[in-house]
Structure 1
Amino acid sequence: MTKIEDTMIIVGGGIGGLAAALAAAEAGQKTTVLEQAPEFGEIGAGIQMGPNAMAVLDRFGVDEKIEKNAVFPKRLVLKDTFTGEELSALDLGEEFKKSYGFPYIVLHRSDLHFALLEVCEKNPLVSLITDQHIETIEETSEGVVATNANGEKVVGKALIGADGLWSNTRAYFSDDKGVCSKYVAYRGTIPISEISDNANIDDVIMWIGPNHHVVQYPVRRGELYNQVVVFKSLNYKEDSVDWGTPEEMDQVFEGAHPLVKTALSFIERQIRWPLYDREPIDNWTKGNICLLGDAAHPMLQYLAQGGGQALEDASYLADMLKKHGENYEAAFKAFQEERIPRTARVQRSARTWGNIIHAEDPTIILLRDIIFKQRDAKDFSHVDWIYGQKYGQGLNKVTKSIQ
């Protein structure tokens, strides 16, 4: 049994786990991050960061690092997959930034993760350990104990489970399972030079249609173009990989707009990503153990808020650790009291938004498109509840930025 002196344990070294380490460090507490992989890194392609997430990155001193590699899109745009018609847009210009205090950016996930990792590595209160696949956790008279796949035990003062959608630490609170949406994603980035001159690389574009969508936007200083193809499989089979195949993808997008067809031609077809979330649960904490990020509230990607909600978690956790010190039970209870209602709303709203953009019924599609076309690009009322909450400004500053 390895006892790490005077430290909190964080299980998981992804975006949420590293942000949690910075949160604890801001509160003056030591942490040890246990990452299951041989080295710290992030898989996937692009990620979108709204103003609510940027507020937290600013708080933790990461914003300037990621802005060097980020792209600042002009608009979020919805287009019809088959006709190419623009259905709606959200202007991300000066009025948007003035309203929410921070910009909307897009970047490569690895660039965000590396920036968080770099700040953690330079912080004397943060220790980073790899090759730690934690299978079980418990609280004993010795402290909080995390046991890895080799049977080795690490003991700390408190523990935060930030080990993602398939979290083992979540089993300490719930025996629930991941909920498969029956959708799959295929992702990829290509050199920006491969993009057609007809593509608008200043925007984040979402092409939508019945049971599918395609997202496109530039990353890494505009040198790469990130593309994600998502569709519902009519061949879904539980506990099987024989559904949502590239062949089915081609069938779903038959007759699509030429720009969508071009996107599909560049997609990496070897890696298939089934899309899961979980039902919200009403408790994340017990004693000196707590969940954070996707381990607590995994969500579908339709609001682009998975990373943002993990960052909000970390920021509010910092406030509660400052307020309650080493009374972790009180800190964690106050943390979840604030965060559970908000993250549950985002989880459920992501599902609802998925139903809207993937609508099949012609009448629903007609009504949806009429509503989309009538709204003004500078009408922020439908996103205000997401972006108008700031968790990056310190204790008792969880307030709307709009005046």
Structure 2
Amino acid sequence: MSIIDREKLVVVGGGIGGLATAIACIQKGMAIQLIERTPQYSHVGAGIQLGPNVTRILQAWGLGDALAKVAAYPKQLQARDARSGKVLGTLPLAGRAETLYGAPYVTVHRADLHRVLHKGAQVDGVGLWLGQNIRGWYEKPERVYVQTDGPQSIYASALIAADGLWSVLRRQMLVTDRPSFSGHLAYRAMVSQADLPAHLRSDQVTVWMGHRLHVVHYPVRGGESLNLVAIVHGKKPEQFQNWDQDADTRELMQSMGKVGRDLHERLASVPAWRKWALHNSPPLSSASEMVQGRVALLGDAAHAMLPYLAQGAGMAIEDAHVVAQCLSTDGQTVQEQLQAYAEQRWERNARVQARAVRNGQIFHARGLEAIGRNLTMRFMGERVMDVPWLYGEGPNP
């Protein structure tokens, strides 16, 4: 096996977290080699929400204008009862996020965000190596060696594993740790707003809450498209690692059971769905779960979370910003720099993981718990729907 000498940072995984890490680090003057398993980017995916804690970082990287061209700016977050259709509470977003937190709240198609990051990485000069499967790594005193399926091994000063939920590098670091099936299935769809009746079009984020289910929809692509995701309880599919499977409206409606007329009409207007089995990891319990020597985990590889706080991509981007800051700190070894990254990130990531799980329980409540939820949101809507510790805290660009 030949050795490729790269005295640089190697990032494994070309998704949002990996590209964000490459951009953040190269802007700090580091040489970056990014390795991605797929031979070419397909730019697929569903919609995602980016809070001001995330958009302020993207703006600091010089990506604010590119993001603005593809994002939507929802006017408010609205919570509704999935059966009665009643509005439970609202939280203004447009303008309010900038005033309180210094950056906007946006919704965007994942593929569009990926393109923005990919282009940013290319402009900044990140080395992209596609079509390479990573088998693992081994470490020596002065460097870490990254092993591929091919005849070559790469060595570098540090390795950042951003290879996602089923991370190969995480399995090597934490042998017994695996993401587990949450018991929830996500049905996702994207439709053109022009194809919907006027009363079904939307310029806001709406969350419908019901027993063992919830539905979220919001605009993307400048408001031209509507992203929908319906969460139900269900059994783990046989091919659970194939996270993107065909589904149809009839299957979804059977899984959801009885819902109100308004929600039923909205779901029935969508002709086709894609189904995901949702997996997550337990909240992090220490910094040691994110770093080992010259190797650090990032994003889903470090802290897979349920999407019920809309922060999966956001935490990966925050991770990227912090790891770049730490690796550019003078007077420390690489191991000390990566340890500092993990120490700064693990508790916040764990808090988001735990809050996402709790949100799922609140969304899916029944009986007295659901009544209490509805009353609380009705009388304290903005106060309980806003998350100041999430949007106002975190890394400061």
**Superposition TM-score, scaled by structure 2 size:** 0.91
- The reply on whether 1:299 has 2:300 as its aligned counterpart is no
2:217 corresponds to: 216
For the residue of structure 1 that corresponds to 2:329, the secondary structure is helix
Give the letter aligned to residue 365 of structure 1.
Answer: A
Give yes or no for contact 1:10–1:159 (8 Å, CA) kept in 2: yes
> Structure 2: 5+ residue runs without aligned partners?
none
Question: By how many angstroms is 1:372 displaced?
Answer: 0.8
- Tell me what 1:68 maps to: 69
Q: Aligned match of 1:286 in 270, 284, 292?
A: 292
Aligned residues: 387
Structure 1: 5+ residue runs without aligned partners? Answer: 394-403
Bigger shift: 146-155 or 159-168? 146-155
Matched, 1:262 2:268: no
Which of 317, 333, 345 is the aligned partner of 2:339? 333
* 1:296 match: secondary structure: helix
**Structure 1 stretch 172-181 or stretch 289-298: which is displaced more?**
172-181
Which residue in 1 is equivalent to 2:56? 55
In structure 2, which of residues 385, 391, 395 is the aligned counterpart of residue 391 of structure 1? 395
Q: Give the corresponding residue for 1:401.
A: none
| 1:202 shift after superposition | 1.6
Structure 2 residue aligned with 1:370, among 358, 368, 375? 375
SS in 2 for 1:71: coil
Residues in 2 aligned to 1:135 and 1:309: alpha-carbon distance in whole angstroms? 26
CA distance in 2, matches of 1:376, 1:253: 26
User: Are the structure 2 counterparts of residues 376 and 214 from structure 1 closer, same or farther at C-alpha, using a change threshold of 3 Å?
Assistant: closer
User: Which deviates further from its counterpart, 248-257 or 162-171?
Assistant: 248-257
Separation in 2, partners of 1:266, 1:2: 55
User: Compared with structure 1, are the counterparts of its residues 141 and 333 closer, same or farther at alpha carbon in structure 2 (3 Å cutoff)?
Assistant: closer
Structure 1 residues 65-92: Cα deviation after superposition (integer angstroms, max 9, x where no partner): 0111111001111111121111111111
Output the CA distance in 1 between the equivalents of 2:140 and 2:71. Answer: 44
- C-alpha separation in 2, matches of 1:29 and 1:237: 42
CA contact (8 A) 1:32 1:128 kept: yes
Does the Cα contact within 8 Å between 2:232 and 2:256 map onto a contact in 1? no
| Distance 1:271-1:199 versus aligned 2 partners, 3 A rule | closer
**Percent identity (aligned):** 33
1:356 Cα offset (Å): 0.4
Quick one: structure 1 residues 77 and 270, their matched pair in 2 at CA, closer, same or farther if it must change by over 3 Å?
closer
Q: What pairs up with 1:72-91 in 2 under 5 angstroms?
A: 72-91=73-92
The answer on whether the counterparts of 2:46 and 2:189 sit within 8 Å (CA) in structure 1 is: yes
Structure 2 distance, partners of 1:44, 1:143, is 35
* Root mean square deviation of aligned Cα: 2.2
Say which SS state the counterpart of residue 357 (structure 2) adopts.
helix
Question: 1:228 is paired with a residue of what secondary structure?
Answer: strand
Counterpart among 268, 275, 284 of residue 272 in structure 1: 275
Partners in 1 of 2:32 and 2:268 — Cα distance?
45
Q: In structure 2, what is the Cα distance between the partners aligned to 1:113 and 1:392? A: 22
Is the 1:39–1:131 Cα contact (8 Å) retained in structure 2? yes
Give the C-alpha shift of residue 257 in structure 1: 2.8
Amino acid at match of 1:118: K
1:4-403 equivalences under 5 Å are 4-124=5-125, 126-140=126-140, 143-150=143-150, 152-174=152-174, 175-199=176-200, 201-233=202-234, 236-237=235-236, 249-267=252-270, 269=272, 271-281=274-284, 282=286, 283=288, 284-324=290-330, 327-360=333-366, 362-377=367-382, 379=383, 382-393=386-397
- The TM-score normalised by the length of structure 1 is 0.90
Q: Secondary structure at the match of 2:389?
A: helix
Q: Per-residue displacement from partner, 1:213-244 (whole Å, max 9, x unpaired)?
A: 111111111111111111011xx258566x99
Whether the aligned pair in 2 keeps the contact of 1:324 and 1:331 (CA below 8 Å) is no
How far has the Cα of 1:381 moved from its partner? 7.7
